[in-house]
Amino acid sequence: MEGPGGDPGVTPRAVERLFAHAAELSALGSSFEFEVSCLEVYNEEVRDLLAPPPKGAEPRRARAAGKNRPRFVGLKSTRVATAEEVAPLLAAAQRVRSTASTKMNDRSSRSHYVFRMRIRRREGEGGGRRTSRRLTPRSVRDAGSERVKESGVSGEQMVEARAINKSLSSLGDVAALASGAKHVPFRNSKLTHLMQNALSGSLKTLPRRSSKTLMFVNISPLAKHYNESVSSLRFAQKVNGCLSSNKRGLPGK
């Protein structure tokens, strides 16, 4: 979701587009406030990546609260005014993310990473009536699924791999069950719990909320990763069959 300087990736480009669109609307009388937060789900624990921990300590933890509209208590939000102010926050979060070397990846993500931006838009001028709207775009970078035999992990990394695969399995279950189940198990994993607001507006059979979800799946072109690539594509097909385009929450002119 983020890349090197010359190829910034989806998240930085989306941030730039949001600020550019906000500038266009500001010229028509709107005003905006932006806040940014970054977290990771590591072994089913939510960690705040923008709260500087003491030297040698783990990032501060946040806890999930709320049943139907989950929120995270204790999560640091930083006010920003430009896309340029977001870049160092993304870099700071990446520096403290949980990573490790495996046989398949020399810098393997050991957690699911979430970048969240809270946007408040006010419309109206002078003494006239002002209206307010809120938008919360999120960028979620899931850790890759792992076949333990191929990645060669053991000990602590084995525990991490199981937690990663559990979260991805729960995400697939949420999408599949939404096609006919009365109860969708968002709370079976921290990943699906924190994505509940976004997914609730995108899964076809759930009550409509103002949201839209896009999913990108990355696979390896190498023949030795064939089985893992096929598994990832099947997962994408499974989820894609349950997603719909709900455009009601997108900011408009």
Q: Is the pLDDT of residue 157 over 90?
A: no
Task: Give tens-digit pLDDT for 73-95.
Answer: 778 899 999 999 999 999 999 88
- The pLDDT value recorded for residue 181 is 59
Domain with CATH 1.20.58.980 in the chain: 162-252
The predicted model scores a pTM of: 0.77
Give 177's contacts (C-beta < 8 A, 6+ positions apart).
183, 184, 185
Per-residue confidence at 151, pLDDT binned at 50, 70, 90?
low
Q: CATH 3.40.850.10: which residues of the chain?
A: 1-141
Q: What is the mean pLDDT of residues 164-181?
A: 73
Q: What is the C-alpha to C-alpha distance for residues 112 and 49, in angstroms, rounded to an integer? A: 12
- The whole-number pLDDT of residue 51 equals 85
Report the pLDDT value the prediction gives residue 190, as an integer from 0 to 100.
Answer: 84
- CATH number given to 162-252: 1.20.58.980
Mean pLDDT comparison of 65-74, 153-162, 219-228, highest-scoring range: 219-228
91-117: pLDDT as tens digits = 999 888 876 655 555 556 778 889 999
The residues near 135 (Cβ < 8 Å, ≥ 6 apart) are: 118, 119, 121, 249, 251
CATH class in words for 1-141: alpha beta
Cite the DSSP H helix spans in the chain: 10-26, 83-96, 148-151, 156-177, 190-194, 196-200, 226-240
